[in-house]
Amino acid sequence: MKMLKRSAAALALCCAASMAQAKGTVEVLHWWTSGGEARAVGVLKNMLEQEGYHWKDFAVAGGGGSAAMTVLKTRAVSGNPPAAAQIKGPSIQEWAKLGFLTNLDPVAKKEHWNQELPPLVQKIMQYKGHYVAVPANVHRVNWLWVNPEVFKKADAQIPHTWPEFFAAAKKIKAAGFIPLAHGGNPWGDTTLFEAVALSQLGPDDYRKAFVDLDQNVLEGPKMVEAFTIFKKIHDDIDSNSPGRQWNMATHMVINGKAAMQIMGDWAKGEFTAAGKVPGKDYECLPAPGTQGDFSLNIDSLAMFQLKDKADIKAQDALAALMLQPKFQRVFNMAKGSIPVRTDLSMKSFDACAQASMKAFKAASKDGRLVPSFSQSMADSDAVLGQITDVVTNFFNDPGADPKKAAHQLAVAVKSAQL
């Protein structure tokens, strides 16, 4: 009897495996390796496997994905790209222009993407009017994450402006806590700087500086002020921050070592994975001085040209499932983001996600929606690389001068355009 059971199980295993092979494989390159991110990508994997396809995971750790992009380039140049890769913003156009990406119009038509996606998102996912990538979500970058218990112990007020932030930080430090948890690496520094720059420039000048690359705004007085505040924040992070990953910083807020973190809402994925509830265990609010602004980051999978027919079917199946309501709900609840489809109910989402959707819709109407430069949504890799160098060098040099930094920023951005 036992033998019989065993061989039946073996048969089931063998056939599920060969069915998956027969139905094709999708290799997916991503950098979703933190606790919350891994839960979210697990949703995509499971849903694809439920349809009988095979998922080949190609994860390269590192917030912001610069390590992942380096690996992707090597694979693509050697003629062996994965089926799908997490590529965002203007880079989608660059990869398409080089002829690597496949045309997803038939899937898009069948699945009604044009009816489901906001026009702005459609534009980002298309090259010369054809879909080459599929979006997963909408992340807001300009968030402040707060541990209210630490604020209570320090008798400090949750800040909405930079002067309030510095006043609270003073009290928090005096009470023996770290005011701001920070993952000190070039990407983390740039993500923090973006929130400060947005608060000082406002959406119009932010766009002039980081989208139009306007020299006058890049080195203008508002940018100098942004660098001045950025420098001051350095006093409110701990000396162990260099080299720390963003999710480790989130855990400092979760476990009450630090009071705050400024980070995109993938940080919420960490709170959720730790079983924490907004409004009770933590608070989410716009980064100081950015109320009403929405710094936009969209995760998307760009699809590469493949030869194997079964694998192409698997790739199409992956693309099709990403905009389905169930995936949008379950994935985004784990990821900390909101659905990229604005027609879905937000009822089962938490308070932060509901606030994010509200802010997204309002900012889209008011012209306060800006592409996140730190998350590769505004510029070419070359320009972002130059911005990142100036920002991180400034942040880590105690003697650095804000006025000089703004000038260096303008020069560096210009040099990347030559």
Q: Stretches 57-65, 273-281, 284-292, 397-405: which one binds ligand BGC (CB under 6 A)?
A: 57-65
By CB under 6 A, how many residues form the interface with ligand BGC?
10
DSSP state of 138: B
Are residues 121 and 281 in contact, defined by beta-carbon separation less than 8 angstroms? no
Q: Which stretch binds ligand BGC (CB under 6 A): 61-69, 73-81, 167-175, 228-236?
A: 61-69
Task: Report residue 255: phi and psi, to 5°.
Answer: -95, 10
Q: Does 31 bind ligand BGC (CB under 6 A)?
A: yes
Q: Which of 63, 81, 183, 402 binds ligand BGC (CB under 6 A)?
A: 63
Q: Locate tokens 């989208």: which residue?
A: 211
238 versus 265: smaller Cβ distance to ligand BGC: 265
In angstroms, give the least distance from the CB of 286 to ligand BGC. 18
Q: Between the CA of residue 156 and those of 127, 149, 172, 382, what are the distances in Å?
A: 50, 10, 7, 42
Measured from the CB of residue 128, what is the shortest distance to ligand BGC in angstroms? 25
Please, what is the minimum distance in Å from the beta carbon of residue 297 to ligand BGC? 5
Contact range with ligand BGC by CB under 6 A, out of 59-67, 109-117, 168-176, 301-309: 59-67
Interacting residue with ligand BGC among 44, 53, 64, 395 (CB under 6 A): 64
Q: Does 184 bind ligand BGC (CB under 6 A)?
A: no
Q: Are strands 126-127 and 130-131 parallel, antiparallel or unpaired?
A: antiparallel
| 318-352 burial: b if 16+ Cβ within 10 Å, else e | bbbbbbeeebbbbbbbbbbbbbbbbebebeebbeb
Binds ligand BGC by CB under 6 A, chosen from 194, 219, 238, 299: 299
Q: Which helix (H) or strand (E) holds 248?
A: helix 246-254
* CA 389 – CA 105 distance, rounded (Å): 38
- What's the CA gap between 306 and 118, in Å, rounded? 28
- With binding defined as CB under 6 A, does residue 37 bind ligand BGC? yes
Cβ contacts of 360-369, under 8 Å, gap ≥ 24: 360/138, 360/140, 360/294, 360/296, 362/292, 363/292, 363/293, 363/294, 364/118, 364/120, 364/294, 366/292, 367/203, 367/204, 368/203, 368/292, 368/293, 368/294, 369/120, 369/203, 369/294, 369/296
Which residue sits closest to ligand BGC, CB atoms considered? 266
Minimum distance from CB of 266 to ligand BGC (Å)? 3
Residue 139 C-beta: closest distance to ligand BGC, Å: 6
64/90 with CB nearer ligand BGC: 64
Judged by CB under 6 A, does residue 328 bind ligand BGC?
no
Q: Which of 66, 126, 290, 297 binds ligand BGC (CB under 6 A)?
A: 297
- Please give the residues from 238 up to 277 whose contact with ligand BGC meets the rule CB under 6 A: 266
Closer of 32 and 177 to ligand BGC (Cβ): 32
Residue 161 per-residue DSSP state: S
**Contacts (CB under 6 A) with ligand BGC, residues 365-404:** 375
Residue span binding ligand BGC (CB under 6 A) among the ranges 60-68, 221-229, 230-238, 311-319:
60-68
The nearer residue to ligand BGC, 37 or 219, going by C-beta atoms, is 37
Q: Report residue 12: phi and psi, to 5°.
A: -60, -45
- The yes or no reply on residue 189 touching ligand BGC (CB under 6 A) is no
The reply to whether 145 sits near ligand BGC by the rule CB under 6 A is no
Residue nearer to ligand BGC on the CB measure, 37 or 311 = 37
* CA–CA gap between residue 403 and residue 197 (Å, rounded): 14
What is the SS3 assignment for 76-120?
HHCCCCCCEEECCCHHHHHHHHCCCECCCHHHHHHHCHHHHCCHH
CA-based angle 351:353:354, to the nearest 5? 60
Nearest partner of 197 among 186, 206, 207, judged by Cα:
206
Does 66 sit near ligand BGC (CB under 6 A)? no
Q: Shortest gap between Cβ of 78 and ligand BGC (angstroms)?
A: 25
- Asked if 142 is part of the footprint of ligand BGC (rule: CB under 6 A), the reply reads no
Interface positions, 79-138, toward ligand BGC (CB under 6 A): none
Binding site for ligand BGC (CB under 6 A): 31, 37, 63-65, 139, 266, 297, 299, 375
